[in-house]
Structure 1
Amino acid sequence: MPESSITRINPQAQWSDAVVHGHTAFFVEVPDTGTDIESQTRALLAQAEVTLIKVGSDKARLLMATIYLKHMADRAAFNALWAEWLPQGCAPARVCVSAEMASPDYLLEIAFTAASPL
């Protein structure tokens, strides 16, 4: 695949589920279930694993994560689940910020960048 090729997975009018350029995949996840930070985090991370498989990658190949939390008070609970989910020694670069969510039901959103062979 030439470096200038762009692959869009499930493109919609306003977004694609993932975009791969060169050997780098970009995607964003919001939780599809859950009512508290723990259940939403678990749901979102499970969804991220599915997307990583779609782009030929895995969580050990994450390069960057931008984490948006509705309530910074949820950071400790999120961090515990994040650390449990990541393979040891494979934490990506990351930033965690407080943000207003697009839906009042969302407690978090994560923008991921991962290495991808696609």
Structure 2
Amino acid sequence: MSEITRVRGPYKGRNSGTAFNGMGWAVATTQVETDDVHDQTASTLARIDEILAEMGTDKTRILNATIYVTDIATKDEMDRAWCDWIGDDPQHWPQRACVETGLAAGHRVEIVVVAAL
């Protein structure tokens, strides 16, 4: 049986990443105190990079991403940070969705990804 790898997160009762059977799941929110959606997205993506690295993979292997924002009107700001991060090679672009929802106080962006290991 394959081992489950877990990447500790900052909150009790849940992890930031889990890897099993050639797949990895990661979730992150901002690591900086700012209301700027672009900056929160960039910080969140930097944390996604760290989590993926701990699982032995990287952003070029992301299959699916779901981005949660508290205000869909800020999607363009989020997209700008996303496009800077994901790069210009369409071979590395995952399937992606953006959803408006409520998030914890101070958080305007949360990102969930599924990646191949």
Q: TM-score, normalised by structure 1?
A: 0.88
Q: Give the equivalent residue in structure 1 for 2:114.
A: 113
SS at match of 1:67: strand
SS at match of 1:75: helix
Taking the aligned partners of 1:79 and 1:13, their CA distance within structure 2 comes to 30
Taking the aligned partners of 1:85 and 1:108, their CA distance within structure 2 comes to 15
Deviates more, 1:75-84 or 1:4-13: 4-13
Gaps of 5+ in 1: none
State the Cα RMSD in Å: 1.5
Specify whether residues 10 and 104 from structure 1 end up closer, same or farther in structure 2 by C-alpha distance, changes over 3 A only: closer
Taking the aligned partners of 1:29 and 1:10, their CA distance within structure 2 comes to 11
SS at match of 2:96: strand
Cα deviations by residue, 1:3-24 (Å, 9 ceiling, x for unpaired):
x432222276411121001010
Q: TM-score, normalised by structure 2?
A: 0.88
Q: Give the equivalent residue in structure 1 for 2:31.
A: 32
Taking the aligned partners of 2:49 and 2:6, their CA distance within structure 1 comes to 17
Taking the aligned partners of 1:51 and 1:6, their CA distance within structure 2 comes to 15
Taking the aligned partners of 2:36 and 2:16, their CA distance within structure 1 comes to 24
Gaps of 5+ in 2: none
The answer to whether the 8 Å contact 2:7/2:51 transfers is no
Q: Give the equivalent residue in structure 2 for 1:48.
A: 48
Cα deviations by residue, 1:31-79 (Å, 9 ceiling, x for unpaired):
0113210110111111111111111111111111111010000101111
- Displaced runs of 4 or more, over 4 A: none
Q: Give the equivalent residue in structure 2 for 1:22.
A: 21
Identical residues among aligned pairs (%): 27
